[in-house]
Amino acid sequence: MNTTHFLGVSLLTASLLAMGGCTVMREQSTVGQAVDDTAITTQVKARFAESPEVSAMAINVETFHGTVQLSGFAKSESERSMAESIARKVSNVKSVKNDIVVRP
Protein backbone atom coordinates (compact mmCIF):
# COMPACT_ATOMS: atom_id res chain seq x y z
CA MET A 1 0.00 0.00 0.00
CA ASN A 2 2.82 2.41 0.85
CA THR A 3 4.59 1.57 -2.40
CA THR A 4 1.43 2.27 -4.41
CA HIS A 5 0.86 5.55 -2.59
CA PHE A 6 4.50 6.57 -3.06
CA LEU A 7 4.34 5.71 -6.77
CA GLY A 8 1.13 7.71 -7.22
CA VAL A 9 2.54 10.75 -5.45
CA SER A 10 5.77 10.47 -7.45
CA LEU A 11 3.90 10.37 -10.76
CA LEU A 12 1.73 13.32 -9.77
CA THR A 13 4.78 15.32 -8.69
CA ALA A 14 6.62 14.49 -11.92
CA SER A 15 3.60 15.54 -13.97
CA LEU A 16 3.30 18.85 -12.15
CA LEU A 17 7.00 19.57 -12.52
CA ALA A 18 6.92 18.77 -16.22
CA MET A 19 3.99 21.14 -16.72
CA GLY A 20 5.52 23.87 -14.60
CA GLY A 21 7.58 25.25 -17.46
CA CYS A 22 4.62 25.32 -19.80
CA THR A 23 2.16 28.14 -20.11
CA VAL A 24 -1.42 27.52 -21.01
CA MET A 25 -1.85 28.78 -24.54
CA ARG A 26 -4.79 30.31 -26.33
CA GLU A 27 -3.44 31.49 -29.63
CA GLN A 28 -0.14 32.53 -27.99
CA SER A 29 -1.73 33.95 -24.80
CA THR A 30 -0.66 33.34 -21.25
CA VAL A 31 -3.21 32.42 -18.62
CA GLY A 32 -3.06 35.95 -17.21
CA GLN A 33 -3.68 37.53 -20.61
CA ALA A 34 -6.59 35.18 -21.29
CA VAL A 35 -8.13 36.13 -17.93
CA ASP A 36 -7.63 39.85 -18.67
CA ASP A 37 -9.22 39.45 -22.11
CA THR A 38 -12.17 37.57 -20.63
CA ALA A 39 -12.67 40.33 -18.06
CA ILE A 40 -12.63 42.99 -20.79
CA THR A 41 -15.16 41.05 -22.88
CA THR A 42 -17.43 40.63 -19.85
CA GLN A 43 -17.25 44.34 -19.01
CA VAL A 44 -18.04 45.39 -22.58
CA LYS A 45 -21.02 43.01 -22.75
CA ALA A 46 -22.28 44.25 -19.38
CA ARG A 47 -22.13 47.86 -20.52
CA PHE A 48 -23.96 46.94 -23.72
CA ALA A 49 -26.68 45.30 -21.62
CA GLU A 50 -26.99 48.49 -19.52
CA SER A 51 -27.23 50.73 -22.56
CA PRO A 52 -30.65 51.53 -24.01
CA GLU A 53 -28.99 52.48 -27.34
CA VAL A 54 -27.15 49.19 -27.98
CA SER A 55 -28.62 45.73 -28.50
CA ALA A 56 -26.40 43.45 -26.43
CA MET A 57 -27.99 40.41 -28.05
CA ALA A 58 -27.15 41.45 -31.62
CA ILE A 59 -23.50 42.39 -31.11
CA ASN A 60 -20.72 39.88 -30.47
CA VAL A 61 -17.63 40.82 -28.46
CA GLU A 62 -14.24 39.09 -28.57
CA THR A 63 -11.01 40.30 -27.01
CA PHE A 64 -7.42 39.32 -27.78
CA HIS A 65 -4.46 41.05 -26.12
CA GLY A 66 -6.65 44.02 -25.19
CA THR A 67 -8.02 44.50 -28.71
CA VAL A 68 -11.79 44.25 -28.74
CA GLN A 69 -13.48 43.04 -31.90
CA LEU A 70 -17.13 43.88 -32.33
CA SER A 71 -19.26 42.02 -34.86
CA GLY A 72 -22.91 41.42 -35.54
CA PHE A 73 -25.67 43.77 -36.57
CA ALA A 74 -26.84 47.23 -35.59
CA LYS A 75 -30.11 48.93 -36.55
CA SER A 76 -28.39 52.24 -37.30
CA GLU A 77 -25.02 53.91 -37.71
CA SER A 78 -25.68 55.60 -34.37
CA GLU A 79 -25.98 52.22 -32.61
CA ARG A 80 -22.80 51.00 -34.35
CA SER A 81 -20.88 54.10 -33.22
CA MET A 82 -22.28 53.93 -29.69
CA ALA A 83 -21.17 50.29 -29.33
CA GLU A 84 -17.63 51.25 -30.35
CA SER A 85 -17.63 54.21 -27.98
CA ILE A 86 -18.80 52.07 -25.06
CA ALA A 87 -16.13 49.45 -25.78
CA ARG A 88 -13.36 52.07 -25.94
CA LYS A 89 -14.27 53.36 -22.47
CA VAL A 90 -13.73 49.99 -20.76
CA SER A 91 -10.48 49.90 -18.81
CA ASN A 92 -7.53 48.01 -20.33
CA VAL A 93 -8.98 48.18 -23.87
CA LYS A 94 -6.08 48.99 -26.19
CA SER A 95 -8.05 49.26 -29.41
CA VAL A 96 -11.43 48.43 -30.93
CA LYS A 97 -12.04 46.80 -34.29
CA ASN A 98 -15.62 47.58 -35.30
CA ASP A 99 -16.97 45.00 -37.75
CA ILE A 100 -20.61 45.68 -36.92
CA VAL A 101 -22.84 45.76 -39.99
CA VAL A 102 -25.72 48.24 -40.11
CA ARG A 103 -28.90 46.45 -41.10
CA PRO A 104 -32.11 48.45 -40.55
Domains in the chain with CATH codes: 24-102 (3.30.1340.30)
The dihedrals phi and psi of 84, each to the nearest 5 degrees, come to -65, -40
Q: What is the pLDDT of residue 104?
A: 81
Cα 53 → chain centroid: 23
The predicted model gives 55-81 an average pLDDT of 96
Is residue 39 over pLDDT 70? Answer: yes
pTM for the model stands at 0.70
What whole-number distance in Å separates Cα of residue 79 and Cα of residue 61? 15
Q: Which residue has the higher pLDDT, 32 or 8?
A: 32
Percent with pLDDT over 90 in the chain: 65
Q: What is the pLDDT of residue 35?
A: 81
What whole-number distance in Å separates Cα of residue 93 and Cα of residue 63? 9
